[in-house]
Amino acid sequence: MNEITLTIHADEGHGWLYITNEQMVEYGLSKDDFSKFSYYDDEGVYAEEDVDASKVIDAVTNKGISIAFEEIAVEGLSPIRELKRTGS
């Protein structure tokens, strides 16, 4: 089974699973698939941990790919919170 590594970004109150634009195309996702609790930039989407991260996980694992996770944690609030929101 193939494996990819995805990054979980976390601050003191929340976490987001990051997926690049290229990965979204590969796994059949777009930024419109995510709720207003996720964020995006020019490179990809930070999928909110409680609702949207499972969409990423399901899309990847449904293609027969396993996921390794790495975490980047920051103190205080993450700058991710300043990005544009996805969804509606």
Is the pLDDT assigned to residue 1 strictly greater than 80? no
88 — pLDDT class (breaks 50, 70, 90)? low
pLDDT at res. 17: 99
Nearest to 45, CA basis, from 4, 83, 88, 5: 83
CA 64 – CA 41 distance, rounded (Å): 27
Q: Domain span at residue 44?
A: 2-85
pLDDT digits (tens, 9 = 90+) for 47-68: 999 999 999 999 999 999 999 9
Name residue 39's beta-bridge partners. Answer: 46, 85
Predicted TM-score (pTM) of this structure: 0.94
* Residues 6 or more apart whose Cβ sits within 8 Å of residue 7: 17, 18, 69, 70, 71, 72
CA 32 – CA 29 distance, rounded (Å): 8
pLDDT at res. 20: 98
Domain count, the chain: 1
Is the pLDDT assigned to residue 69 strictly greater than 80? yes
